[in-house]
Amino acid sequence: MALNIMSWNVNGLNGAIKRTKCLDYLRSKRVSVALIQESHLKTCDVHRFQNRYYKLVSFSSSDKKSKGVLILMARRLPFSMHCSRSDAAGRITCILGTWSNIKCAFVSVYAPNEYDNVFYQQLVSVLLSLNDYHLVIGG
């Protein structure tokens, strides 16, 4: 099975119609892993962005309807997830696991518009901790 990865800044997923259209689009493109930025979903609402074809495997949300990163995975994808990690600011989330006996890390990042030293230190720290994995970053 081929791995088809998409990184997508969706600019908000609070509307049910937009969530449905986005999930339909992912399916039409046969996306295996979607690295989503700017979901604008609160923690209590992120579960709404999945369906019978895609499952939400990791997320980081802000306490406001802004920012937010998600990772969706096709339910049919034979990926064995070992763990997930997220920051508390809605800017970084990642999953670690195995696909076809290959250790993979998928990271979805939404960087601030203006330079933020704390964010970049955190991002570098996360990425350096993944040196045993094949790394895919979207953002």
Residue-wise pLDDT tens digits, 78-97 = 999 999 999 999 999 999 99
Rounded to whole angstroms, the Cα distance separating 56 from 83 reads 13
Residue pair 68/60 in contact by the 8 Å Cβ criterion: yes
Number of domains comprising the chain: 1
Residue 42 domain boundaries: 5-138
Extract the tokens encoding 133. Answer: 């994995």
Q: What is the pTM of this model?
A: 0.96
The per-residue pLDDT for 65 is 87
- Cα torsion 51, 57, 62, 67 to 10°: value is -70
Domain of residue 29, CATH code: 3.60.10.10
Q: How confident is the model at residue 62 (pLDDT cuts 50, 70, 90)?
A: confident
Q: Tell me how far apart the alpha carbons of residues 76 and 67 are, in angstroms, rounded to a whole number.
A: 28
Whole-number pLDDT of residue 93: 98
Q: To the nearest whole number, what is the mean pLDDT of the chain?
A: 97
